[in-house]
């Protein structure tokens, strides 16, 4: 009798656990790399149709007042921690392959939080949060598995990465083991296939967190920066005259196809109706030839690496059958740091227990259109250059932001400069939601300067999203308030984690592979 009672109790526990897991949504986080504001057709791209992305965006919630960091590593650190880079030491530059540092081990990451809630956690694609020691790599930071690369970019076909001092080597891992047999497999396709296999093999009684961080549409190695399959490039032979932009459009097309395949697989497995799909870029596009790329943020001002809107206003949406209100554009202020509390809370976690984070639980705003809890955010404060920017409601303060060598203007996509406002040159059955497209009047003859010698700039982003007019002189009280807010945030900053490049990381010392060199062959530069 006692055995029967014990069996009954165990059975009830299993049933309750299964019911809890079923109620927990699968979370699919798709992160594009260097995708510009105008590189998707739901934002009005006149050159690149993205029907799979558009379909999800237009039937989800498009985030049109959503912000990221201007470069890779800071943005990824924010997704994982829910903190501004100024609070994790990741606020200056990115992690180069030979720099012996990473996102601090004292930080608890999103997959670790979700694992505590019973999630299976898998990462595919780009890491870029440190690998000088294995403890900093994905499977040591909460992911059950990892298939992808540790550095910031690489060749889409041979899976290698070349860096400073002539360092060059393989950068592809299955968990922590180097992968040598994927030469010639196009990275976007390869990562998509792996993500599809993970979904197909997933035990659907358990919630899934899949972090799919594509390289697309980031530049590859210097000898051939833009790379795509020939058949995709040929699709744009008649519509895009600039050769580099044609290849870029093909790269974006492969990304769009990936999104479609992932969603089709979720549907086939019966997982779609209990899934939350997040799509985001990590930073603005490298327009105007920045990073040897042809991304486009038009009509937003600036490029990747800058604190202008083109560098930090991110292309993003959330799509889910679990959303109460869909098919709309949200203008609620939102930041990359908000994903951790939002997803953790929706997964069943107690958001009140998340201490010392900068993010807000945005699910009521995303799902029902309730008022956003966020009024302000820090774009960045770099203690090396002191380039700084922050938002408070509609106001944006910009301090010490230089032109960066042709990065502070307005750059239409190559090939249509002479008629940048002409109708699209393709037809799609999925028109954009009208208010998802930013429009501005004629641009000024000269961009406003906000450098060290120019003084701070103040913009009303609600009325002036393209940053045409500096209103610092007109709105002196607002400017004073914003400068005081900036000083408040400066007082909370932690030191940067960056360290000098260590030539001992060169793959020539490690069988031609980028690896955790401070574990493999420790040296005096490896001290934390």
What residues are labeled active site? 72, 128
Whole-number Å distance between alpha carbons of 417 and 309: 20
Q: Which residues contact 444 (CB under 8 A, 6 or more apart)?
A: 468, 469
Structure tokens, 283: 């930073």
Which of these, 332, 248, 246, lies nearest to 286 by C-alpha position? 248
- 152-186 in b/e form (b: 16+ CB < 10 A) is bbbbbbbbbbbbeeebbbbbbbeeeebbeebeebb
Whole-Å CA distances, 449 to 160, 404, 454, 456 = 39, 11, 6, 9
* β-pair partners for 389: 380, 398
Q: Which residues contact 90 (CB under 8 A, 6 or more apart)?
A: 73, 74, 77, 78, 103, 496, 497
Whole-number Å distance between alpha carbons of 255 and 118: 30
Q: Strands across the sheet with 26-32, in order?
A: 177-178, 173-174, 145-149, 120-126, 208-213, 26-32, 275-281, 316-319, 61-63, 328-330
Report the interhelical angle of 72-81 vs 339-346 (nearest 10°): 30
Give the containing element (helix H, strand E) for 124.
strand 120-126
Which of these, 489, 527, 512, lies nearest to 85 by C-alpha position? 489
Structure tokens, 383: 């203690």
Whole-number Å distance between alpha carbons of 74 and 381: 12
Which of these, 111, 150, 112, 146, lies nearest to 130 by C-alpha position? 150
Which of these, 527, 408, 379, lies nearest to 467 by C-alpha position? 408
Label residue 243 exposed, middle or buried (CB < 10 Å: 0-12, 13-18, 19+). middle
> What count of other Cβ atoms lies within 10 Å of the Cβ of residue 392?
16
Which of these, 23, 70, 55, 19, lies nearest to 309 by C-alpha position? 70
Which of these, 212, 217, 193, lies nearest to 124 by C-alpha position? 212
**What are residue 281's phi and psi, to 5 degrees?**
-90, 160
Whether a cis peptide bond, with omega within 30° of 0, leads into 144 is no
Structure tokens, 182: 């994927």
Which of these, 336, 345, 323, lies nearest to 374 by C-alpha position? 336
């Amino acid at each position: 009798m006692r055995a029967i009672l014990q069996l009954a109790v165990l059975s009830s526990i299993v049933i309750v656990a299964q019911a809890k897991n079923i109620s927990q949504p699968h979370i699919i986080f798709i992160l594009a790399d260097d995708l510009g504001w105008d590189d998707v057709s739901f934002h009005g791209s006149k050159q690149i149709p993205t029907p799979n992305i558009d379909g999800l965006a237009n039937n989800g919630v498009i985030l049109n007042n959503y912000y990221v960091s201007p470069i890779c590593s800071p943005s990824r650190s924010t997704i994982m921690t829910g903190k501004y880079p100024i609070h994790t030491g990741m606020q200056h530059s990115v992690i180069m392959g030979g720099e012996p540092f990473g996102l601090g081990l004292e930080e608890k990451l999103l997959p670790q939080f979700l694992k505590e809630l019973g999630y299976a956690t898998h990462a595919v694609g780009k890491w870029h949060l440190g690998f000088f020691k294995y403890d900093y790599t994905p499977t040591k930071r909460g992911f059950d598995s990892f298939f992808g690369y540790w550095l910031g970019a690489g060749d889409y076909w041979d899976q290698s990465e070349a860096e400073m001092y002539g360092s060059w080597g393989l950068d592809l891992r299955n968990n922590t083991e180097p992968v040598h047999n994927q030469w010639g497999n196009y990275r976007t396709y390869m990562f998509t296939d792996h993500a599809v296999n993970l979904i197909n093999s997933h035990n659907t009684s358990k919630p899934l967190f899949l972090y799919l961080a594509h390289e697309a549409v980031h530049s590859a190695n210097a000898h051939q920066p833009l790379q795509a399959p020939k058949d995709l490039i040929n699709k744009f032979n008649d519509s895009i005259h600039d050769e580099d932009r044609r290849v870029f459009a093909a790269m974006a097309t492969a990304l769009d196809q990936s999104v479609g395949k992932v969603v089709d697989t979720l549907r086939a497995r019966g997982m779609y109706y209990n899934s939350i799909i997040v799509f985001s870029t990590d930073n603005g596009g490298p327009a105007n030839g920045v990073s040897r790329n042809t991304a486009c943020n038009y009509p937003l001002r600036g490029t990747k690496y800058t604190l202008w809107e083109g560098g930090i206003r991110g292309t993003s949406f959330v799509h889910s059958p679990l959303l109460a209100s869909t098919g709309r554009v949200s203008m609620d202020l939102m930041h990359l740091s908000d994903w951790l509390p939002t997803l953790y809370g929706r997964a069943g976690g107690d958001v009140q227990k998340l201490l010392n984070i900068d993010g807000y639980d945005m699910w009521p705003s995303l799902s029902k259109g309730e008022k956003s809890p966020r009024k302000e955010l820090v774009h960045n404060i770099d203690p090396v250059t002191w380039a700084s920017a922050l938002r408070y409601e509609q106001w944006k303060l910009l301090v010490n932001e230089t032109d960066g060598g042709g990065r502070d203007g307005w750059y239409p996509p190559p090939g249509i400069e002479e008629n940048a406002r002409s109708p699209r040159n393709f037809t799609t059955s999925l028109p954009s939601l009208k208010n998802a497209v930013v429009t501005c009047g004629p641009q000024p003859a000269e961009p406003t300067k906000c450098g060290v010698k120019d003084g701070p700039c103040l913009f009303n982003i609600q009325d002036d999203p393209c940053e045409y007019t500096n209103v610092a002189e007109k709105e002196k009280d607002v400017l004073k308030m914003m400068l005081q807010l900036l000083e408040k945030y400066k007082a909370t900053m932690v030191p940067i984690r960056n360290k000098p490049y260590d030539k001992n990381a060169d793959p020539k010392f490690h069988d031609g592979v980028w690896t955790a060199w401070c574990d493999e062959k420790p040296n005096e530069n490896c001290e934390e």
